[in-house]
A and B are shown apart, each in its own frame.
Chain A
């Protein structure tokens, strides 16, 4: 999938005239290698970055990364860039047995390559410091970061988080009523939510059938192979012209079997995988929607709390309480937090609107390519089949006059 890395020029016009003038960031994930032993064995990948971005250390950098590093990157981006549909990662392997099968490794490598390049070609995500770290840091640093993942993250010093949390625990029961989630009442957004959830179902079904189709190709290939062998044996028994005809038929059948297995692989990589990728992308959107819901809730809660505090403050001011100063201070803090929360929410909304357009266009392109490859593959296969069988006809004709 080298083409992917070539596409990943930042948002601007892609003219490869003079690389130095046009900013570019190209990444490729290659060379899967199995490292380690036994239960702790894993696959490492070579990640090659070519760029002229000034923030980067140089025109080219090669690092070694493993799957959990990619997860780290995704999680960081997800936290930092709320509202953006973070490109999805391929799944962890459910079945131990296949973790190291050649096919699985290749599929994963391809998906990881697509993942990084999507980030690199997104005008906001490509600015990420975490991306820079991922693409450039040495392995020890990466390992340290990876294991600190949960730790550092939750101990964020920004107290806004603290305030949110405190507010939530104090206020939620009283103001919001127990377990009543606050949701946007935006009809267009409702429509989008409905669309996304339905879309996932439809896509999952299509992907299921696509996967079955791959299996069918393999099964047909196997049966052609077995049939070919049987035909050859029958030919050996028959002998003479007829026997030769059977043998030739058997040979063609076996040859076609090979073609079918090849096509099955192509189908898996170029049709089923894009569909799976589509499903993952939709799931990523759902995650972003979750973030939006959280942001909306926080905004509401803080707004409520702020109002309460305001009322309280006015009360205190009227009674000329000596706690006014403290209350005023708290109120100011809350107001800032509330405004912050509103800003966050509005950013998410704005970003999502851009993202959804980009998503639809991207998917139309991706599926267009997938459909094209699918159709090409099927046509190619059918042609092979026709050619193979057709070549037997003159021989069969000759037989009948023998």
Chain B
């Protein structure tokens, strides 16, 4: 028992002062980036409300700057290979164990958004399977270098109207882009534009939702923190876009990533409203849903239609007859609730693990102080013996504390998949809404058509009663017939659009199912392997102490 110079002794010497000890226990890369000095679970809370707000993801701002110089035992990312030193007697860790235990580092040169044949994604920020494609094409996007810029036009106030731009760098081997590496500066407004255009062009798809505007936060937070928060959110968003098999190849995204200069804002193609107004328009332009302003009349008609649908009576000519779809929709809703519930519990679990680590560390600290005290004031040998025992326990407690915190960091990383999918649910909602509104458009047009037809019939009936025909009525009938023809075309276009969206929904649902299964399974595996690994390490630490104090057990 006397002064057992276990390896822990070395560590104990590293923290001579209380401050160092506290740094050891409390200040690590996990917490330094939080303005309110809070733990990883706060990021979960924000991610729960909207995926774009998962700003303070504990590991996502590259934190290497803080961990680089400090005690290697301090920074979680150093723990690399579970096979290396200690124990891991359980099983040969599966191939992804290295992925799981490797540092969470977005700027490492080795990290690329790769789709390989095993569908394992080494992109650390979002370990989801990308697609079923077996080719190894990739798009790697980083957002960096926020810069403050001046609004050049309309500056009535000198020095007023500043905004931030972000450097968006892309590396890819997809030939469509025409280049393998390029960058562009973009402001948030451009991102909003991109998102809007994608929403128009890709109705029915599960389009990842863009980051929130966060107007309130932008005014309340420290500028630097807000800009950093936004940078992270943007990067996540673009990465998700790049991960979508269809959207990654879209023109909109290409332009956004490559073409310098202002992005053209979305043109509001409210032609459907113009057409429903009675103006002649190109039928293909009817496909966009009704928006505000100029679409008022169309909105009104569609609203009337939807009310008619809801309140029954007249059965709409086209119904959502796809029973399978309705069931799927309900199931998705249920799934969303369960994922949400699970992610809330994960939040609590993460907090509990964090607290455990913290308290364990504080206990260790208290014993270290006691050890020092007893040694300094020792008058009897029994005190020295006790001090040695105490130090043994203290070092173990501190080690265990570190392990808990590392475990937690990894837990957050893995179970974050749940959050990502919550965000995806928003995209699913969007796609289903696209479908509903497309259906509504079809129904509205059908009603319109039937109204027009009955009007035409009436006119013809009235006109046929007049011998020789009624010049004005005949003219009206001609006009009406023309309108009917156009409306007929528009209806066909709308139906085609509706069918297209239905098809998109179906494909995306299949993709969601497949990817979700893989992602969730990986999440579970990662979580479990992690728990096992760290539990074994913690067990070893304590087993050693139990061994060293076993003499006391025999006494009693």
Residues on A close to B: CB < 8 A? Answer: 3, 7, 191-192, 194-195, 198-199, 202-203, 205-206, 208-210, 212-213, 216-217, 219-220, 222-224, 226-227, 229-231, 233-234, 236-238, 242, 245-246, 249, 356-357, 360-361, 363-365, 367-369, 371-372, 374-376, 378-379, 382-383, 385-386, 389-390, 392-393, 396-397, 399-400
Q: Is B484 on the interface with A (CB-CB < 8 A)?
A: no
Contact of A382 among B335, B346, B528, B538 (CB under 8 A): B538
A371-B389, A372-B546, A393-B529 are contacts. A202–B366 as well, Cβ < 8 Å? yes
Residue of B nearest to A367 (CB): B386
The residue in chain A whose Cβ has the minimal distance to the Cβ of B344 is A230
Distance between B60 CB and nearest chain A CB, rounded to angstroms: 23
Bound-complex Cα distance A396 to B1 (A): 44
Q: Is the CB of B363 within 8 A of A213?
A: yes
Q: Does B555 sit within 8 A of A, measured CB to CB?
A: yes
B263 within 8 A of A: no
A368-B356 in contact given A226-B345, A227-B349, A237-B331 (Cβ < 8 Å): no
Interface contact B552-A393, CB-CB below 8 Å: no
Closest chain A residue to B385, Cβ basis: A364
- Shortest CB–CB separation between residue A225 and chain B, in angstroms? 9
Interface of A is mostly: helix
Residues of A with C-beta under 8 A to B542: 375-376, 378-379, 382
**Residues of B contacting A368 in the complex (Cβ-Cβ under 8 angstroms):** 1, 386, 389, 549, 551-552, 555
What residues of A have a CB within 8 angstroms of the CB of B84 in the complex?
none
Could you mark each residue 366-391 of chain B with 1 if its beta carbon is under 8 Å from any beta carbon of chain A, else 0?
11011001000101101101100110
Instruction: List, in ascending order, chain B residues with CB within 8 A of A210's CB.
Output: 363
Please give 17 more A-B residue pairs, beta carbons under 8 A apart, in addition to A374-B393, A375-B543, A400-B525: A195-B377, A202-B366, A223-B352, A230-B341, A237-B334, A238-B335, A246-B524, A368-B389, A369-B552, A371-B390, A372-B546, A372-B553, A375-B549, A376-B546, A378-B539, A392-B524, A397-B525
Query: A233 → chain B, closest Cβ, in Å?
Result: 5
Nearest neighbor of A252 in chain B, beta-carbon distance: B528
Inter-subunit contact A382/B536 (CB<8 Å): yes
Decide if B352 touches A220 in the complex (CB within 8 Å): yes
B428 CB, nearest partner CB in chain A, Å: 15
Any A CB within 8 A of the CB of B307: no
> What are 13 A-B contacts defined by CB distance under 8 Å?
A206-B363, A216-B352, A223-B345, A233-B338, A236-B338, A237-B331, A245-B524, A249-B528, A386-B90, A386-B539, A393-B529, A396-B524, A396-B525
B531 within 8 A of A: yes
Q: Is the CB of A379 within 8 A of B539?
A: yes
Which chain B residues numbered 485 to 542 have a C-beta less than 8 Å away from chain A? 517-518, 520-521, 524-525, 528-529, 531-532, 535-536, 538-539, 542
Q: A385 to B535: give the CA distance in the assembly, Å.
A: 6
Nearest CB in chain A: distance from B510 CB, A:
15
**In the complex, B253 has a CB within 8 A of chain A:** no
Q: Is the pair A360, B536 in contact by a Cβ cutoff of 8 Å?
A: no
Looking at the complex, which one of B342, B380, B520, B535 makes contact with A386 (CB distance below 8 Å)?
A: B535
| B233 contacts partner chain A, Cβ-Cβ < 8 Å | no
Bound CA–CA A378/B539 (angstroms): 7
Interface of B toward A, CB cutoff 8 Å: 1, 90-91, 94, 331, 334-335, 338-339, 341-342, 344-346, 348-349, 351-353, 355-356, 359-360, 362-363, 366-367, 369-370, 373, 377, 379-380, 382-383, 385-386, 389-390, 392-393, 396, 400, 517-518, 520-521, 524-525, 528-529, 531-532, 535-536, 538-539, 542-543, 545-546, 549-553, 555-556
Residue of B nearest to A253 (CB): B349
Give the CA-CA distance A367 to B355 in the complex, in Å: 25
Q: Considering only CB atoms, which chain A residue lies closest to B530 in the complex? A: A389
A42 to chain B, nearest CB (A): 31
Across the interface, which residues of A come within 8 angstroms of B521, CB to CB? 242, 245, 396, 399-400
A242 to chain B, nearest CB (A): 5
CB neighbours of A372 from chain B (8 A):
546, 549-550, 552-553
B370, A203: Cβ atoms closer than 8 Å: yes
**What CA separation (Å) do A185 and B546 show in the bound complex?**
44
Residue of A nearest to B553 (CB): A372
Complexed CA–CA distance, A357 and B553 (Å)? 22
B385 contacts which chain A residues (CB < 8 A)? 364
Residue in A191, A242, A357 with the greatest tally of chain B CB atoms within 10 Å:
A242
Q: Which residues of B contact A386 (CB under 8 A)?
A: 90, 531-532, 535-536, 539
A389 to B414, CA, bound (A): 15
- Docked complex Cα distance between A367 and B389 (Å): 8
Listed from nearest, the 6 A-B pairs whose CB atoms lie closest are A382-B539, A368-B552, A375-B545, A386-B535, A379-B542, A372-B549
Whether A378 pairs with B538 at a CB distance below 8 angstroms is yes
A382 and B539 alpha carbons, distance in the complex (Å): 5
Determine which of B345, B377, B393 lies in contact with A375 in the assembled complex, contact meaning CB atoms within 8 Å.
B393
| Assembled-state Cα–Cα distance A242/B338 (Å) | 14
CA of A357 to CA of B378, assembled, Å = 12
Cα-based distance from A259 to B363 in the complex (angstroms): 22
In chain B, what residue has the closest Cβ to A369? B552
> Do residues B338 and A383 form an inter-chain contact, with CB atoms below 8 A?
no
In Å, the complex CA distance between A316 and B475 comes to 153
B339, B528, B543, B549: the one contacting A389 at CB < 8 Å is: B528
A400 to B393, CA, bound (A): 42
Contact present for A371 and B549 (CB under 8 Å): yes
Of B520, B546, B551, most buried by chain A (CB within 10 Å of CB) is B546
Which residues does chain B contribute within 8 Å of A382, judged by CB atoms? 535-536, 538-539, 542
A268–B165 alpha-carbon span in the complex (Å): 56
Most interface-central of B346, B369, B553, B556 (chain A CB within 10 A): B556
Asked if A249 contacts B524 (CB within 8 A), the reply is yes
B549 engages A206 (CB within 8 Å): no
Cα-based distance from A222 to B348 in the complex (angstroms): 9
How far, in whole Å, are A202 and B374 apart by their CA atoms in the complex? 10
Pick the residue among A194, A224, A249 that contacts B349 (CB under 8 A): A224
Contact partners of A378 in chain B: CB under 8 A: 400, 538-539, 542
